[in-house]
Structure 1
């Protein structure tokens, strides 16, 4: 999402370029919290960060405005700019710590008329097809590796930007992920629709839209779920945890204080289908997706990071994207990236995290 304030975009890392230590895996198996100098919480630790991409160019393209990441089928990491460009990154790690990334390819994207996208969400299909959201309509389009437009998925009318629907401009499809097996695609709205309310705890309800396919068929509209976002935060990204649950990145910005970025684990598997519910919460029978806080990233050690504007933790910036790059025994390796909005007081920053998933 493009904003005038410093927020953050997430990035994914190369699965082959990192490993999980035996101690990490043993901690997950034993259920013990991390006893580690880099711990952000009992479930999350930060391995390192890198600002090497900040304010760089590649083949004449500005390597910034990054809003999403996804592990590519060719061993690279796909990084989506919200200015209609898709980068391929060679991502590596210094030992078990800080990530580094080198652009190796850039592809231009466009809509059906050759116009630009407000491209925010990204998923890479098994055949290398890129699924890309735009906040403008909103939309989900399919592109081949070379950026050729292949098609467009259906979107419920209520999710469209007003007056066509009930969504606010720049508050629509911010996150996108494919569940394991590639049969279920899920997009997350950033904020609530007009007319939607709050859950019993007073949290604003945001909609998650799914699509499903069987065999070689195209994606068709699937169930829609309600997700309770924290007050003052929006859903910046979602990604599949690998077991049916979702990692959800919530993010907000307060002038003079900086960013708030929280990582949650959500479970839509027992949530109600709210497709036919005009106004959430929709009564006692409607069950939103449950969620569990994994870490407030403001509690991570700063690791010597510097911020160009006020931040409660100088490590933070406008984090918008994340991707899972390795799974091992309930332990995930993540890469995140921040969106610098091509703003001199913001930073394009990569973060490497290790997350121990709580048992379902």
Structure 2
């Protein structure tokens, strides 16, 4: 979702930061993970450390297209990193250097652009991309040809067709292990649901085909006042859930949660989900870290932020697993093509609680 532009006054207040962002090297800021009685020097929380960040993509272009408004991340079958932007483009990046390698325009079958917010890669290499406008999930060939659109429950459509709010629909998406279940998260609450309840819709693969049909729907509680810009699979059946909000003249709040849908109630037939609803088991979740509590690592900002490291973080993906169960995590911020915001990539390491 596009973040509102900062008022000019706020921009001027924030201009004390240097326009040239200082980026520490990954080697200089390699995280040490919690263990024994010594807290990690780059700890954001007892279970998350920040390894490094880079602003190398900020205000760059590829083939005349701004590498900007990045809101979703995943890995391609060939190991490259894919980044989708709000402006209906899909970028291919080098997975190690983050150098842009290719850019591909996206469009619906009728030629209309997408408000593309999240991307997943199916086992055959086709791309599944969320369109927040409809909302919808469109399957694209590797060459960018639209192939099909997945079914969406009426209740998740934007009012008056459904109970969703414009610009607060499918922002996050992930394929679960085995590639048989696709999950999409609603950014905001449905009309009639409690403000901090979000619906997660699933689709199940039909046999061994590349088609998906509607599956169960689950409920997840966000931290008060925060929305969900993205989710990603942890590889063990759970999800990392990114939560974020923006407060004018204060800045961003960004939380990282782990959630488990496996014992949650199917709420697809429940019209109004409220905090006191009986008989509903919500998707279990726990807070891993408040990103604002991470060491800034020398980051600078051109806008008001509680921590200069923060920006409008909208995308998350898992980069790998260690033998002792830790996850490499990559975050990206959406700069909205705003001169006082930054396209920033963050490398973190997370230790998940036991399922």
Could you state the TM-score of these two structures normalised by the residue count of structure 1?
Answer: 0.89
Tell me the equivalent position of 2:303.
309
Whole-angstrom CA distance in 2 between matches of 1:65 and 1:255: 19
Cα displacement string for residues 84-142 of structure 1 (whole angstroms, at most 9, x for unaligned residues) = 000000032xxxxxxx4100011110012111110001111121111000110100000
Cα displacement string for residues 217-245 of structure 1 (whole angstroms, at most 9, x for unaligned residues) = 51010000001011111011110111111
Tell me the equivalent position of 1:283.
277
1:15-164 equivalences in 2 (<5 Å): 24=33, 35-92=39-96, 100-164=97-161
Determine if contact 1:190/1:235 at 8 Å carries over to the other structure.
yes
Change (3 A) 1:140 1:34: farther
Tell me the equivalent position of 2:337.
342
Which stretch has the larger CA shift, 323-332 or 308-317? 323-332
What is the CA-CA distance between 1:197 and the residue it aligns to? Answer: 1.9
Cα displacement string for residues 285-314 of structure 1 (whole angstroms, at most 9, x for unaligned residues) = 011111100000000000000011000000
Whole-angstrom CA distance in 2 between matches of 1:231 and 1:35: 28
Structure 1 residue matching 2:82: 3-state secondary structure? strand
Tell me the equivalent position of 2:315.
321
What is the CA-CA distance between 1:162 and the residue it aligns to? Answer: 0.5
Whole-angstrom CA distance in 1 between matches of 2:262 and 2:291: 26
What is the number of equivalent residue pairs in this alignment?
Answer: 331
Determine if contact 2:187/2:229 at 8 Å carries over to the other structure.
yes
Determine if contact 2:32/2:42 at 8 Å carries over to the other structure.
no
1:296 aligned onto 2:283 = no
Structure 1, gaps ≥5 residues long:
7-16, 93-99, 199-203
Determine if contact 1:120/1:173 at 8 Å carries over to the other structure.
yes
1:171-186 equivalences in 2 (<5 Å): 171-186=168-183
Structure 2 residue matching 1:158: 3-state secondary structure? helix
Determine if contact 2:312/2:334 at 8 Å carries over to the other structure.
yes
Tell me the equivalent position of 2:212.
219
Find the partner of 1:357 among 346, 352, 355: 352
Cα displacement string for residues 44-86 of structure 1 (whole angstroms, at most 9, x for unaligned residues) = 0000000000000001111001010001111110000110000
Structure 2 residue matching 1:211: 3-state secondary structure? strand
Determine if contact 1:34/1:42 at 8 Å carries over to the other structure.
no
Whole-angstrom CA distance in 1 between matches of 2:241 and 2:331: 12
Whole-angstrom CA distance in 2 between matches of 1:111 and 1:76: 24
Whole-angstrom CA distance in 2 between matches of 1:5 and 1:245: 34
Structure 2 residue matching 1:91: 3-state secondary structure? coil
Cα displacement string for residues 306-349 of structure 1 (whole angstroms, at most 9, x for unaligned residues) = 01100000000000001101012311001110000000010000
Whole-angstrom CA distance in 2 between matches of 1:270 and 1:280: 17
Change (3 A) 1:33 1:254: farther
Output the aligned Cα RMSD: 1.9
What is the CA-CA distance between 1:32 and the residue it aligns to? Answer: 5.3
Structure 2 residue matching 1:252: 3-state secondary structure? strand
Structure 2, gaps ≥5 residues long:
7-25
Structure 1 residue matching 2:45: 3-state secondary structure? coil
